[in-house]
């Protein structure tokens, strides 16, 4: 299971428009919220888009813990 790290959520998604981020990376707002709530796992395309958008490494953004 791949999930967004709590540290990433707190640092990069607290004070921004989730709608704007979702639109910028090409996913729906509802999908972005599901990723934040750990109710969905991102596919490889979404992982790549998030990493490219934030210019961060996989380890800085995601965790593979259950």
Q: What domain count does the chain have?
A: 1
Residue 43, domain extent: 3-63
> How many angstroms separate the CA atoms of 20 and 24, rounded?
6
CATH number at residue 27: 1.10.260.40
* pLDDT, tens digit, 9 for 90 and up, residues 25-62: 999 999 999 999 999 999 999 999 999 999 999 999 99
Cα torsion 11, 55, 44, 21 to 10°: value is 60
pTM metric for this prediction:
0.89
């Amino acid at each position: 299971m791949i999930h967004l790290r709590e540290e990433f959520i707190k640092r990069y998604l607290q004070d921004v428009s989730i709608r704007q981020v979702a639109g910028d990376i090409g996913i729906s707002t509802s999908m972005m919220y599901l990723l934040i709530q750990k109710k969905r796992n991102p596919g490889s395309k979404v992982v790549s888009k998030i990493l490219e958008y934030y210019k961060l490494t996989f380890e800085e953004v995601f965790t593979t813990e259950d």
